[in-house]
Homo-oligomer: A and B are copies of this chain.
Amino acid sequence: MTGMLKDKTRFVPPPKLPPPTPVVDLSDAEMRIAQDLLFFAYRDFTNVADQVLDELGLGRAHHRALHFIGRNPGITVSSLLAVLRITKQSLARVLNQLVDEGFVGQAPGFEDRRLRLLTLTDKGAALERRLFDAQRNRISKAYSGAGPLGVQGFHAVMRGIMDQGARDYMDGTGSAEDT
């Protein structure tokens, strides 16, 4: 039904476009498409977890924390802060809630007892798993459709877009602080 209004919702660009500064070799149009791709893919990817999160009264910030703690068991608070690039206060709210509700456990560091080493509890791991499964379907389908070579390209481009610190983090080199 909504498909019938096509003509009302798309428009031919009026004589707006100024001479697009031809700086580099890659066309603007190509870059614009990349913007759209990032917006929609990220939007829909994150959205698939939201329903589960809503049920539990949690938000995306909680998911992010769960994800990075799950992937880096024993991570310190400051490392987590560096990876997420948010402030201590922002993380505190989310993290305290996760600890209070039994999703995240903590233990003092062995040599340095100032450290709070974070891990997922079984309950936390189960939740993270649930959230992950929802997103996995998306990725899985997309990967199948693109083939192994496509996935390689996806990796290369995404890595190219992120900061060097993030690449280092993903490679396991470099401290999380540089993320």
Contacts and interface: CB of A to CB of B under 8 A. Distances in A.
Contact of A158 (B133, B140, B154): B154
Interface string A71-104: 1111110010000010000000000000000000
Contacts of A170: 33, 36-37, 40
B125 A143 contact: no
Interface string A11-40: 101101010010111101011111111111
A14 B146 contact: no
Contacts of A106: none
A8 B175 contact: yes
Interface residues on A, range: 35 or more
A11 B75 contact: yes
B37 A155 contact: yes
A38 B41 contact: yes
Contact of A42 (B42, B73, B132, B179): B42
B72 A37 contact: no
A157 interface: yes
Nearest to A36: B170
A14 B174 contact: no
A142 interface: yes
Contacts of A135: 31, 35
Contacts of A14: 73-74, 119
Interface of A: 2-3, 5-6, 8-11, 13-14, 16, 18, 21, 23-26, 28, 30-45, 64, 67, 71-76, 79, 85, 112, 115, 117, 119-120, 125, 129, 132-133, 135-136, 138-147, 149-163, 166, 169-170, 172-179
